[in-house]
Amino acid sequence: MPKLVDHAERRRAILEVTWRLIATQGPDAATMREIARQAGYANGALVHYFPNKEALIEAAYVYVSEQTDLRIRAAASGKRGLAALRAFLVELVPTKEVTLLEARIVLPFWSRTVTDGALARTSDARMQRWRDDMVVLLAEARRDGEVRTAVPDAVIAEQLLAMAMGMQVLAQLPDHATTPDLQLRVIEAHLAALA
């Protein structure tokens, strides 16, 4: 009897190896051969799941984004308004090992979006979902009396997203001054200003 293969689990394992390899050794180290080796598969096995490196890198970005979304939902569960928005932002900025590693895959992905329309659309869709989610949380905070600024929620969401993405960049710089503690204080300052 032939061995049953869990293709979804194998695909997930390949993506996990890919994003961690990119995060720890850079995108150039993430060759199909090295990914297959680290995942424990024959080199040709990857093409059954990803036709080429570009498809694999896009899938790894989507996978990382989905993992971020899962953490955001878990962190914001049972919260609303500014408490939920705070939890959301903490999962975006690189204040802990997993979010720092995720930022290391996001940055090379963004550089590819400049010349790759499909990747740009993937990135734009993710960013728009985060904007939309923040606007919902800001509206809750306004109803609860936590946000009193006249600045429109869409503008605030854009500011918060730009702040979080900027911290992802700053945290990658050698000897960066943007420590996890400073990042958390920046989040608190932004949220306090909304009142």
Ordered per-residue pLDDT tens for the chain, 195 residues: 556 667 788 888 889 898 888 888 887 888 888 888 888 888 788 888 888 888 888 888 888 889 999 999 999 999 999 999 999 999 999 999 889 888 888 888 888 888 888 888 988 999 999 999 999 999 999 999 999 999 999 999 999 999 999 999 998 888 777 889 999 999 999 999 998
CATH 1.10.357.10 holds for 7-193: yes
| Radius of gyration, alpha carbons of the chain | 19
Q: What is the pTM of this model?
A: 0.85
Tell me the C-alpha distance between 30 and 38, whole Å. Answer: 10
- CA atoms lying within 13 Å on the CB side of residue 150: 0
Q: Is 109 left (phi over 0), alpha (psi -120 to 50) or beta?
A: alpha
| Alpha-carbon span 137 to 105, nearest angstrom | 27
